[in-house]
Chains A and B, each alone.
Chain A
Amino acid sequence: MADNVAKFEHDDASVVVVVGTGAGGGVLANELAQRGIKVVALEAGGRYLPEDYINDEWDSFAQLSWGDMRTTSGDWRIARDFANLPAWIVKAVGGTSIHWAGASLRFQEHEFRALSTYGRVDGANLLDWPITLSDLEPYYDLAEKKLGVTRTNDWPGLPGNNNYLVLEKGAKAAGYSKVSTGRMAINSVDNDDRMACQQTGFCFQGCKWGAKWSAAYTDIPRGEATGNLEVRDHCHATRIEHDADGKVTGVRYIDKDGTEQLQRARIVAVAGNSIESPRLLLASASERYPDGLANSSGQVGRNYMRHTTGSVYAIFERPVRMWRGTTMAGIVQDEAHHDPSRGFVGGYELETLSLGVPFMAAFMDPGGWGREFTSALDSYENMAGMWIVGEDLPQETNRITLNPGEKDRFGLPVANVHYDDHPNDIAMRNHAYAAGERIYRAAGATRVLPTPPYPSTHNLGTNRMSENPRDGVVNKWGQSHDIPNLFVSDGSVFTTSAAENPTLTIVALAIRQAEHIAAEMEKGTL
């Protein structure tokens, strides 16, 4: 922590309160602080830095992951296999940017115009974004610089590890050509006071070298160093308050000691990830806003997206040792385009992935047992693995709601996460399983394991951006349609999910939002 960390009074109504310090909130807080704006960031989790991270899957999970109760419903397999763990995300200063693997891709132009490009799809609630790729390009530039994304700004790509080399060999043999170690927010050379990747593996457990970008040790301490940012850890926001005019006035939270506090605010920005952000807005219902804040459209919590995912692991005659080196530096992009002749709209990426033995046992075939299961694990050393990440479609009924039957430790209703696969998601997943199998067979695989989705690592869309206030929760700046001084600053603003991993876009939007808020404050309109 920097020396001159700010300390603001609870009744200081001039501060911007940011709820959540992950990829969205952590970046927004720093970007505002850099512009001279006073910020209080509330973070439910604790503070952990590279020296604290643990090279051990379950120990790290216990240290960092969001373990508070959640419930699930819907036909997705997660509701059966991981009924109380719908999402795999972090509860800590820096949020899920501690867990993330670093894959940093820009969206494709057409993905901002999903409805116009794909047309109406039965059962889907498609919409065009209120912004275009060219609106976001300057901010993608800034985000890539901030994150140190390889293959941008003359930074070289990462070297390929064993898992990548198998993917590359198979993908090329299967006729694919857009195969590389990708664009990663992992230093390939020393940069930004952070060292180059040491190929440790364990990218998901927090990078102990700091080679991977995380808000935890970049944006957060830099924001604090300005003297304009106070991060309060172990502070769980429970309710956003508003005045008679309907404008928000502050945030109630439970602090480290279990005491309820109220931090007054000029502006509130919600960035608790796509499950907690709508939960907080819904839980803030009042006489004036009986359906929750910013919810005149009824869209708060709806259109929950988690990407069409799944993994393909394959076993080879000889050792691969996929766990060595960067977890996700490997990508095949040939299927990322939109081509309805494949039987679905949108596209998908294939990215290298590896799990250690403990997580492989938990996630390879949840509920599975017997020789079919254990003979696969017996060949763990000879396995290669890839992850499917593709565009899933927004559906109104896929949604976060408050579950009155289940309370958290503060006595507040927990979030229920409902998700049904859309037929488009299923068609895409099956196509991707077949592509993955083809790739690995071409590299000599003796056995292929089409592995079901993990608890959601990408959580999107539950406070979506829309041009028309009727269709969504926030406008193109992430500002709520209903309440001008209430913003949303995380992945929940995504109008559609696109095929790409979301974080570069979350960061670009947060930088853009900070610029907007600063300009409007300057003008006196906020």
Chain B
Amino acid sequence: MTVAHNSPSGSNVRGLTRRGLLARAMAAGATFVVGSGFVAARDAAWAVETTTLKPATMATLIQMARDIYPHDRIADRYYAIAVKGYDTAEKAQMVEEGITGLNLVAKAQGFDDYLSAGWEKDRVTMLRMIEHTPFFQTVRAGLVTGLYNQKEIWPVFGYEGESFSHGGYIERGFNDIDWL
């Protein structure tokens, strides 16, 4: 599977036109464009090709990842990267079953499926119901490194990462706090 990033002004994601993607969005949940073999952002900023998982499963998994660790300033593509490792023959069954279970919980709550619940609060209620399943625990634990170990998102937290090559902070503000 690959995750393609669009250039800010471009409209093509792996050969899919912006318009084509948006048209197909009608058939999918609110957040993602789900086609055959891929999941894309509504604004076509990125797309994930799936090889084994159903695209709708991948879309649900990405939303689930965000609902577990919601950071409003982190884009979906980072959550997609964090869960793309589940799109393998070895793991697909576990994930398909897990997402099917989650959608059943959604139905019992009066929604068509997990993605149709518009409020995070409602989706979190569903997640609380499956929180003790191995599926949930696997996804959550995997995100701890899969999401937070992506260097690209560290600036969102202000974290500066590696510092040796910059000579440490001895002349770069190790004691620059000015509001105490």
Contact = CB atoms under 8 A, between A and B. Distances in A.
Nearest to A161: B174
Interface stretch (B31-39, B55-63, B65-73): B65-73
Nearest to B157: A380
Chain B interface size range: 35 or more
A369 B158 contact: no
Interface in A160-183: 160-162, 164-166, 169
B161 interface: yes
A58 interface: yes
Interface residues of A, number: 44
Nearest to A326: B174
B163 A377 contact: no
B9 interface: no
B164 A324 contact: no
A486 interface: no
A373 B69 contact: yes
Given A160-B175, A162-B174, A325-B174, 12 more contacts: A55-B163, A165-B180, A199-B170, A202-B164, A324-B163, A356-B161, A362-B144, A369-B68, A370-B68, A377-B148, A377-B157, A381-B157
A357 interface: yes
B90 interface: no
B175 A165 contact: yes
B148 A358 contact: yes
A360 B154 CA distance: 12
B71 A378 contact: yes
Contacts of A361: 144, 147-148
Contacts of B176: 162, 321
Interface centre among B159, B161, B172, B177 (most CB of A within 10 A): B177
Interface string A107-150: 00000000000000000000000000000000000000000000
Contact of B124 (A161, A320, A367, A370): A370
A409 interface: no
Interface in B149-180: 149, 154, 157-165, 167-170, 172-177, 179-180
Given A199-B169, A358-B145, A358-B149, A370 B70 contact: yes
B69 A321 contact: no
Contacts of A319: 158, 177
Given A199-B174, A374-B71, A325 B159 contact: no
Interface residues of chain B: helix, strand, loop or mixed (majority): loop
Contacts of A162: 173-177
Interface in B117-168: 124, 140, 144-145, 147-149, 154, 157-165, 167-168
A200 B175 contact: no
Given A162-B176, A201-B168, A320-B177, A56 B145 contact: no
A381 B168 contact: no
A380 to B, nearest CB: 4
B98 to A, nearest CB: 16
B120 to A, nearest CB: 8
Interface string A211-254: 00000000000000000000000000000000000000000000
Nearest to A170: B180
A319 B179 CA distance: 9
Interface of B: 67-71, 73, 124, 140, 144-145, 147-149, 154, 157-165, 167-170, 172-177, 179-180
A209 interface: yes
Nearest to B73: A378
A360 B162 CA distance: 16
14 contacts: A55-B163, A58-B149, A161-B174, A162-B176, A166-B180, A169-B180, A201-B169, A317-B179, A319-B177, A324-B172, A325-B168, A357-B159, A358-B148, A377-B71
A166 B177 contact: yes
A357 B174 contact: no
Given A325-B175, A369-B69, A369-B140, A443 B157 contact: no
Nearest to A363: B144
B167 to A, nearest CB: 6
Interface string A353-391: 000111011100001011101100110110000000000
A297 to B, nearest CB: 41
Contact of B70 (A325, A357, A367, A371): A371
A14 interface: no
In the complex, the 8 A-B pairs of residues with the closest C-beta atoms, listed nearest first:
A381-B158, A198-B168, A325-B174, A200-B168, A361-B148, A199-B174, A55-B162, A380-B157
A362 B145 contact: yes
A419 interface: no
A208 interface: yes
A381 B176 CA distance: 13
Contacts of B164: 55, 200, 202, 208-209
A56 B158 CA distance: 16
Contacts of B177: 162, 165-166, 319-321
Nearest to B124: A370
Nearest to A160: B175
A19 to B, nearest CB: 32
A413 interface: no
Nearest to A378: B71
Contacts of B170: 197-199
Given A169-B180, A324-B169, A325-B169, A55 B161 contact: yes
B140 to A, nearest CB: 6
A470 interface: no
A304 interface: no
Contact of B163 (A165, A202, A318, A371): A202
